[in-house]
Amino acid sequence: MSLVSCSLLVLLVAASSLAQDYDLAEFRCPEVNGFFPDPEQCDKYYECVNDIPETKFCPDGLLFEASDPNSELCDYPFNVNCGAREFVQEPEPGLDPKCYRANGFFNHEEPNVCNKYYNCVHGYPHAYECPPPLVFDEAQGTCVREEQASSFAKKCDPVTEKEEIEGFSCPEGDTLGPNGQPLAHPSFPHPTSCRKYLICYFSKDLNEQGCPETQVFDHRINKCVVSEEGPDDCKCWYDCGSNSQCPDSCNTDCSCPSK
């Protein structure tokens, strides 16, 4: 559990008793009508109608945004400045272990996983992954570069072993395109398949992709094309052609196996 979440949970014990001790009759509407924050609890507020207050609470995990008395807005903690309103209600019972609260963005449970997180909605966790090289920062509720992460973001050991597919791994440094500019997501021929190809997202994250049936990947133009228009070594990837002297055993470049 993150330091941010632990800090919130430490305050929960006092929050419950304070919410009970703070009698509604003690609250005085600042204006005749509007929505106004509780002075001590950040997810508690009052709706005043004709100078009569009604106690309300934000959904579990959300906090009351008090900047506009004409607006009834509960938002995520990273969007709300609670000021001196340091207490919150207790979490809903029976939540999924991945959700500290029924609503919110929370760290992955694995200690050395910094690029994955959960968006909990009504207590159900939805898993997400940051695109490399970004990491998740729970205090900001989004994916950021490591140098932009807050002090509350998890710190993970760098991955030293490069991912491989069929012996291929993303090359070090930038891959330049035809105009001499670095490519954000360079593509490469597959080591063993004319139909498949490899993409290095952000030049680091290796992924395998495939062309539609009857097409091959042309690494010269980074597109899927029919085999007849593809690279010479892939022209007979699907069949040897009607003029082949070895129609059942030709190589992918249409040549016949040497005897």
The reported pTM is: 0.57
Exposed e or buried b for every residue in 116-145, given b needs 16+ CB within 10 A? bbbebeebebeeeebebebbbbbbebebbe
The 8-class DSSP code of residue 176 comes to: B
Q: Percentage of the chain surpassing pLDDT 70? A: 89
d(CA 117, CA 142) in angstroms, rounded, equals 9
> Could you read off the pLDDT of 130-153 as tens digits, one per residue?
998 899 999 999 999 999 999 889
Say which CATH number the domain at 100 has.
Answer: 2.170.140
> Could you read off the pLDDT of 147-183 as tens digits, one per residue?
999 988 999 887 667 789 999 999 988 888 888 888 8
165 and 145 in one domain?
A: no
Residue 104: strand, helix, or coil: strand
* AA identity, residue 154: K
Task: Indicate the number of domains in the chain.
Answer: 3
Task: Answer whether residue 67 is part of any domain.
Answer: yes
213 and 152 in one domain?
A: no
> Could you read off the pLDDT of 210-220 as tens digits, one per residue?
999 999 999 98
Domain that holds residue 229: 161-233
d(CA 34, CA 47) in angstroms, rounded, equals 6
Task: Answer whether residue 259 is part of any domain.
Answer: no
> Could you read off the pLDDT of 50-105 as tens digits, one per residue?
999 999 999 999 999 999 999 999 999 999 999 999 999 999 999 999 999 999 99
φ, ψ for residue 147, nearest 5 deg = -70, -15
